[in-house]
Amino acid sequence: MNLVPDRWYCILRAGEVPTGRPVAFRRMGEDLVFWRDGSGQPRAALDRCPHRGAALSLGALQGDSLACPYHGFRFDPGGACVAIPAHPDQPIPRKMALRCRRLAEAHGFIWLWNGHGEPVPAEPPFFDFTGYSCAGSAFQARWETHYARVVENEFDFAHLPFVHHNTIGRGFPKPVDIEVKQDGDHLSCWLTRDPAMVLEVRGPNLWRMPLGPKVYNFIAFAPIDDEAVMLYLRTYQRIATWAPLAWVIGRANALINPVVLRQDARTVPSQRPKVPSLTDGDVFVASDKAIVAFLRWRARAQRTASAESSGDTLEESGRDQ
Ligand code: FES
Ligand SMILES: [Fe+2]
């Protein structure tokens, strides 16, 4: 899958991985099984038993181990096979192991490290929401396109008076003049005429936008594969500390956002190619300045990673940890 290597990707809501049973999700171009070990830590591996390829997500948790539904082989949280019921007294082949993926749980999400070795940074980077609280998960939605197309869309002022002509883009002037700033994986853009409205992307797949001085819209774009993405939308606010009022703010945002995003969902998945790039046919103009900055950041991050792992023939994703 076309991803930026050596980054943490926000891929699931923490609540989507329950305790007590394995679950299947397609993420990062792979069919994965997720479960929680005895200490509650989320775990993930390819959803394919190393014995004969059955889906481990159809299996069960037995104590701290994951049992395959087909012949009952059991695997510990690190992926090592610890039991072959048909041959309890024979040594277990070393290759009989799960292909595990490295996860973290933070900010109410599950994150996957898409890279080799120890993650740097050790914890997934997030936006600074100091003083804010999450007023709820507004909703989630699956779109049939590459996640980077949706990040582009959220960094695009010029589409507002067209796609959103009867909602947030009503009366929005068509000419736009955009400023862009980049600091490592953190990109910001704003209209020259309105520096208070700063859209931010934290690469590879997080975005936020202020709704006034005390509320943010936040979206994580979880890559499913090159042709699909799951959007997780949240509201962060610092208007209210009283939980019921915070809930009302979150609900109000949850009513408005799906209407706006449904408008984008009619257009963005129609873009071809589904995986955007600077060199694959799009003809950019000045109003695409922020999108070009994002695509340049992606291209540079991909080049840097491949230079650092010169001679390495593994693909960008799907690396065994
Ligand atoms: S296929 Fe999993 S134990 Fe045989
Ligand atoms: Fe939009």
Q: Is residue 119 part of a domain?
A: no
Any ligand 1 atom below 6 A from CB of 85: no
pTM: 0.94
Q: Is 71 in the pocket of ligand 1 (CB under 6 A)?
A: yes
- Domain with residue 23: its CATH number is 2.102.10.10
Nearest residue (CA) to ligand 1, atom 1: 52
73 lines ligand 1 (CB under 6 A): yes
Q: How far is the CA of 16 from the centre of ligand 1 (A)?
A: 25
The answer to the question of residue 321 being in a domain is no
User: Given the CA of residue 73, which atom of ligand 1 is nearest to it?
Assistant: 3
CB 226 within 8 A of CB 274: yes
- Tell me, yes or no, whether 5 lies in a domain: no
Q: In this structure, are 150 and 269 located in the same domain?
A: yes
The answer to whether residue 115 sits within a structural domain is no
| Residues 103 and 167 reside in one and the same domain | no
Query: Do 96 and 237 reside in the same domain of the chain?
Result: no
Are the C-beta atoms of residues 292 and 158 closer than 8 Å to each other? no
Closest listed ligand to the CA of 33: 1
The enclosing domain of 234 has a CATH number of 3.90.380.10
The answer to whether residue 48 sits within a structural domain is yes
Do 266 and 168 have their domain in common? yes
The one-digit pLDDT tens for each residue of the chain (321 residues) are 999 999 999 999 999 999 999 999 999 999 999 999 999 999 999 999 999 999 999 999 998 899 999 999 999 999 999 999 999 999 999 999 999 999 999 999 999 999 988 999 999 999 999 999 998 777 899 999 999 999 999 999 999 999 999 999 999 999 999 999 999 999 999 999 999 899 999 999 999 999 989 999 999 999 999 999 999 999 999 998 888 888 888 888 888 888 999 999 999 999 999 999 999 889 999 999 999 999 999 999 999 877 776 544 333 333 333
**150 and 63 fall within a common domain:** no
Q: Whose CA is nearest to atom 4 of ligand 1?
A: 71
247 alpha carbon to ligand 2 midpoint, in Å? 25
Does any ligand 1 atom lie closer than 6 A to the CB of residue 68?
yes
The range of the structural domain enclosing residue 277 comes to: 133-299
Q: In testing the pocket of ligand 1, which one of 33, 58, 66, 70 has its CB within 8 Å of the most ligand atoms? A: 70
Three-state secondary structure readout of the chain: CCCCCCEEEEEEEHHHCCCCCCEEEEECCEEEEEEECCCCCEEEEECCCCCCCCCHHHCEEECCEEECCCCCCEECCCCEEEECCCCCCCCCCCCCECCEECEEEECCEEEEEECCCCCCCCCCCCCCCCCCEEEEEEEEEEECCCHHHHHHHCCCCCCHHHHCCCCCCCCCCCCCCEEEEEECCEEEEEECCEEEEEEEEECCCEEEEECCCCEEEEEEEEEEECCEEEEEEEEEECCCCCHHHHHHHHHHHHHHHHHHHHHHHHHHHHCCCCCCCCCCCCCCCHHHHHHHHHHHHHHHHHHHHHHHCCCCCCCCCCCCC
Give the Å distance between the CA of 84 and the centre of ligand 1.
9
**What's the CA-to-centroid distance between 59 and ligand 1, angstroms?**
10
- Of the candidates 212, 226, 227, 205, which has an alpha carbon nearest to the alpha carbon of residue 155? 205
293 in a structural domain:
yes
Of 74, 93, 108, which residue sits at a domain end? 108
**288 and 226 share one domain:** yes
**Domains held by the chain: number:** 2
Ligand 2 centre and the CA of 2: distance in Å?
23
